[in-house]
Structure 1
């Protein structure tokens, strides 16, 4: 089986390859094609993968290419993890947004809109090429903003594009661990949009254990989201939010923390990863060792500003291991081998949430088999979540419309309608700032 990774020079690609190395079952991935526009980054990542595979005669073969069509032809699965504008673009998004006093995070608020506006046209082009060159391939999308990009691609690929994210997986794992349950034996009642979802229940042997967690302040204070949001707020919600909802519930505090930070997250990662790729220019560099060292620092500093604003402390060791690569592997296994499983994924709504139309991409538990991912029936959203989900989905639709039409007016509307942008004048200033630093937004007129 052949897997093509778009964004193959990306820093987290070795996580995916590491997961593939552990798969020995029949029908596994035997060939990996890395595609990237940057030959230097491709070479660096290929060196890390070669060291990962050292001594393993059955390791998947790795090839690299900068030709997108060549990468797509013959693919059984396409894993999309591109970053349009690179980490320099992410740092610029944060800088422009913070100058206007609003959030610049890459998937939430003004930064997420800017990232979406320059990513959607590229993702749509990829989807069209997949439909033409590899019509039987399944696309697994990890490109952010994941829900928005998955919806854009689904207009050309239908249900053969599925979005993944590691945030719900990590949240469910932490809640299960605190409750003394095995994550694989728990049913996680999770619903929302990507980076905008809530765990409303965690059932073990048919019994919902979440009320026990919400009633115990000590248990609530023993894991990351409990410390991040505070026991009182979680009890008020009657649910445990995805960590990204901290940007909504504690927006002022988070914006201040980002403004006080020595570097924004994007600037930190830009500089950190530049050091890694520069080190890989040396032929004698120990690629895997350098990558492991850089990754450990990256994971330990994840959402540091939010934890600082909440006084949540450092991340626990168990939360430093990622997880999206495991979701990707489980998804590929389920489809390729008809190994039926349940995963929290980004898929088209198909009536699952009555407040959204059928084509809206949502993030919910799905039953996965050889025919793809099928969202399970879930209870309606509570009122506080309904308003937020509908508002953010409306913004995503304006982003898609602006990307398709090239309308600057529609792009301004997307910014202005977002719950974290509090002024139409600010929306105009944001778009002016973003177009000044991103050549990829020149299509907006």
Structure 2
């Protein structure tokens, strides 16, 4: 099988390749093509992959290309993990929003809208070119904002584009550890949008063990989400939210922290790309995980929480389920159909989905909590307004997309962000200034 990785010079690409190296199944990936616009970053990551595969005679071959159309030819799967505007763009998203007194996190609030505005047009161009040069390929989208980008790409690719995220799996793994079961033995009743979901049940052998966990403060606060939200608030909710809901439940504290993750990562990765090696990549990756969402914590991140969700394994499981027609259930970003009653059939949601050779289909889950319905529907309106603004390139639509976001508290603030953001025009087809 041929896998094309878009954003192939990205820092997390070695995670995907390392997962491929451990795959011994008959239908495994044998050819990897890394595509990126930056040849220097491609060379750096290619060198790390060569070190990873140094002692393996049957490792998947790796080639690099800056030509997208050439890279796509013959692809069975396309893994999209691009970052339009680079980390400089992310740092600008955060700093411009912070300067306006609102949250600028990468996928949440003004930062997420700004990121979407410049990413959607590029993602749509990629989708069009995949439909021409690799019409039979399945597209796995990890590009943020993942739900928004997946929904935009589906206009050209239909159900052949599926979004993935490591947050729900990471939450599930930590909760399973807290209740003393294997994640493979647990059914996660999870529903929402990307970075906006709630775990409403953990079913083990037909019994929901989440109520027991919610009643046990020590176990509940033994893992990341319990520490972030606190046992009292989680018991009040009767569910465990995705970690990114911290920005909605504790908005004032998040804004006041003033932390810029983008600036930190920009400087960190500059050091790695200046002297790339497997050893420096491992060191940088560990530091990255240890500081993840550091602005939300008063203490160092627990070692048990560092493994995250393993999006690379989700991608591998998704590919095998489709290629081998191996029925698997994974939490994915897929069209709603009739799953969540508060959204229309075409809305991309994040829920457990049944995957086989025909793609991914959402399965029945509990509905979004009553107090979350307004937030989910408002954010879906924002996602679609952002897509419309990105396609039209009109300043007014961009202002509207920002102003409608629950974490942007003024139309004037939305206007100021649009007019002062140095990277925003990168994502629009016409000048919005």
With the shorter chain as reference, the TM-score category is over 0.9
Aligned-partner Cα distance in 2 for 1:439–1:333: 36
Deviations 1:209-233 (A, max 9, x none): 0000111111111111111001111
Give the secondary-structure state (helix, strand or coil) at the position aligned to 2:87: helix
Gaps in structure 2 of 5+ consecutive residues? none
Q: How many residues align?
A: 431
Who is 1:340 aligned against?
327
Displacement of 1:398: 0.3
Who is 2:268 aligned against?
272
RMSD of aligned Cα (Å)? 1.1
Match for residue 293 of structure 2 among 277, 292, 303: 303
Displacement of 1:41: 0.3
Displacement of 1:433: 1.7
Displacement of 1:381: 2.0
Give the secondary-structure state (helix, strand or coil) at the position aligned to 2:421: helix
Who is 2:241 aligned against?
241
Aligned-partner Cα distance in 2 for 1:207–1:328: 29
Gaps in structure 1 of 5+ consecutive residues? 281-286
Who is 2:349 aligned against?
362
Displacement of 1:321: 2.7
Deviations 1:155-191 (A, max 9, x none): 1101100000000000011011000111011000000
Q: Is 1:426 the counterpart of 2:426 in the alignment?
A: no
Give the secondary-structure state (helix, strand or coil) at the position aligned to 1:399: helix
Aligned-partner Cα distance in 2 for 1:36–1:432: 29
Summarize the alignment of residues 204-219 of structure 1 with structure 2, pairs less than 5 Å apart. Answer: 204-219=204-219
> Does structure 2 retain, via aligned residues, the 8 Å contact 1:89–1:438?
no
Match for residue 314 of structure 1 among 300, 309, 315: 300
Summarize the alignment of residues 101-140 of structure 1 with structure 2, pairs less than 5 Å apart. Answer: 101-140=101-140
> Does structure 1 retain, via aligned residues, the 8 Å contact 2:223–2:305?
no
Summarize the alignment of residues 49-88 of structure 1 with structure 2, pairs less than 5 Å apart. Answer: 49-88=49-88
Deviations 1:51-92 (A, max 9, x none): 000110110000000000011110000000000000011001
Who is 1:283 aligned against?
none
Aligned-partner Cα distance in 1 for 2:424–2:386: 19
Give the secondary-structure state (helix, strand or coil) at the position aligned to 2:119: helix
Displacement of 1:378: 1.8
> Does structure 2 retain, via aligned residues, the 8 Å contact 1:356–1:390?
yes
Who is 1:290 aligned against?
280
Displacement of 1:411: 1.0
Aligned-partner Cα distance in 1 for 2:2–2:413: 46
State TM-score, norm by structure 2: 0.98
Give the secondary-structure state (helix, strand or coil) at the position aligned to 1:37: coil
Summarize the alignment of residues 160-179 of structure 1 with structure 2, pairs less than 5 Å apart. Answer: 160-179=160-179
Task: Report the more deviating stretch, 318-327 or 164-173.
Answer: 318-327
Aligned-partner Cα distance in 2 for 1:77–1:354: 32
Aligned-partner Cα distance in 1 for 2:430–2:226: 43
Aligned-partner Cα distance in 1 for 2:373–2:8: 37
Aligned-partner Cα distance in 2 for 1:185–1:379: 19
Aligned-partner Cα distance in 2 for 1:436–1:404: 16
Task: Report the more deviating stretch, 377-386 or 291-300.
Answer: 377-386
State TM-score, norm by structure 1: 0.95
Aligned-partner Cα distance in 2 for 1:163–1:415: 23
> Does structure 2 retain, via aligned residues, the 8 Å contact 1:141–1:150?
yes
> Does structure 2 retain, via aligned residues, the 8 Å contact 1:92–1:437?
no
Displacement of 1:436: 6.6
Who is 2:43 aligned against?
43
Deviations 1:30-55 (A, max 9, x none): 00000000000000000000000011
Aligned-partner Cα distance in 2 for 1:437–1:397: 17
> Does structure 2 retain, via aligned residues, the 8 Å contact 1:435–1:441?
no
Displacement of 1:441: 4.1
Displacement of 1:351: 1.3
